[in-house]
Amino acid sequence: MTLAAAIGLTLGNLDLDLELDVDGTAVVAVVGPNGAGKTTLLRALAGLLRIDRGRVAINGTVVEDPAARLRLPPEGRDVGVVFQEHRLFSHLSALENVAFGLRASGTPKAEARAKAMEWLEQVGLPDVARLRATQLSGGQAQRVALARALATEPAVLLLDEPLAAVDAAARAELRHLLRSELRRCPGARLIVTHDPIEAAALADRLVVLEDGQITQEGPLVEVTARPRSQWVASMVGLNLLCGVAENFRVRLPNGAVITVADECKGETFAAIRPNAVSLQRHRPDGSPRNVWPGEAGDLHVAGDRARIRVDGPVPLIAEVTPAAVAELRLAEGGCIWAAVKATDIETYPC
């Protein structure tokens, strides 16, 4: 089961221009900021939106090619979609919803219903079979929507922010279900999300989409360990700096210099974990050669962790303990010194 897409598409202010390959071996998550074009991409793949240039092929069969005047509508593509808002058919029962795709392709009623019942059991909702869509909770409805899409056993399964509209209480459980169902599903699976937890839980590969272009893609672990854009960095909670490297020093555009432990050359990323940043009110002595002054900015305390922005020649987010917050009186702001060990800095070429 493969999806091979080269898409050129202009929609309003958005210019989508990318190439994407998904096969059955890895679940791909498309992440990115709002307006990057993630949903537009998903709709184009599903056939709900025309592309201007390029080619989309499913299992080797071309389903869209503007240059060849070829375009299969959604019903002609072997694609299943789980939408953000379940979009169940409100006049049908849950069972009839799940059976819909099968009946639409000609499966006899009894057989379709039997299969639909199996899928409902698969998603853990055998008891709601007779209920109308309007009688289900948000989480239940989304599960039924998942079963409905899976029931047609599509070659490509697309999910558009499947957890976004589900309330927090049901989300974890649904995420768990999605994870196991996605593992089981043999098709090419692509999920669009802006939630890093969702991406981390469900995906094997990440594709980062920013402003219509892919800025980074690769295995989840790699992308999150070595972000190549600010957006990914903030998504995974890493500090990301970019500069020109020479030997063991990286010079930032504003002139500040970072000393690193690995030899590097040319355009280089430097990633620093927030908990590797230590803060002091006075300039520290000792080994760290990376010591910068800054202004203590926004402070967020969450449980046993606190994050604070430090604005200065080297802008950073530092993670400290609440005790440190109190001791350093960080809430008052003011001048602060940040220090990072060279060995705590990860460098990789741009």
Partner 1 sequence: MRNRLPAGLAPAVLAVGALAIVVLPLVGLVQRAPWSTLGRDLRAHDAFTALRLSVVTSLGALGVSVLFGVPLAWVLARRVFPGRALVRALVTLPMVLPPVVGGIALLYAFGRQGFAGRILYDVTGWRFVFNTSGAILAETFVAMPFLIVTAESAFRSMDRRAEEAAATLGARPAYRFRRVTLPAVAPALAAGGALTWARALGEFGATITFAGNFSGTTQTTPLLVYLDIESGNEATALALSLVLLAVSLVVLVGLRDRWIGKV
**Contact set with partner 1 (CB under 8 A):** 46-48, 73-75, 79-81, 83, 85, 87, 89-91, 100-101, 104-105, 148-149, 152
User: Please, which residue, 86 or 228, has the CB nearer to partner 1?
Assistant: 86
User: Please, which residue, 47 or 212, has the CB nearer to partner 1?
Assistant: 47
Which of the 8 DSSP states describes residue 69?
Answer: T
Smallest distance from the beta carbon of 169 to partner 1, in angstroms? 25
User: Please, which residue, 106 or 255, has the CB nearer to partner 1?
Assistant: 106
CB proximity list for 284: less than 8 A, separation 6 or greater: 278, 291, 337, 339
Smallest distance from the beta carbon of 299 to partner 1, in angstroms? 42
| Neighbour count for residue 8 (Cβ, 10 Å) | 17
User: Please, which residue, 32 or 101, has the CB nearer to partner 1?
Assistant: 101
Smallest distance from the beta carbon of 159 to partner 1, in angstroms? 12
User: Please, which residue, 77 or 205, has the CB nearer to partner 1?
Assistant: 77
Question: What is the total residue count of the chain?
Answer: 350
89, 97, 101, 115 from 107: Cα distances, Å: 19, 14, 9, 10
Smallest distance from the beta carbon of 162 to partner 1, in angstroms? 13
Do the Cβ atoms of 337 and 293 come closer than 8 Å? yes
User: Please, which residue, 35 or 74, has the CB nearer to partner 1?
Assistant: 74
Edge to edge, the sheet with strand 70-71 lists 14-23, 2-11, 53-58, 61-65, 70-71
Smallest distance from the beta carbon of 182 to partner 1, in angstroms? 18
Q: What amino acid occupies position 39?
A: T
| Distance, CA of 202 to CA of 195 (rounded, Å) | 11
Smallest distance from the beta carbon of 152 to partner 1, in angstroms? 6
Q: Is 316 exposed, middle or buried (0-12, 13-18, 19+ CB in 10 A)?
A: buried
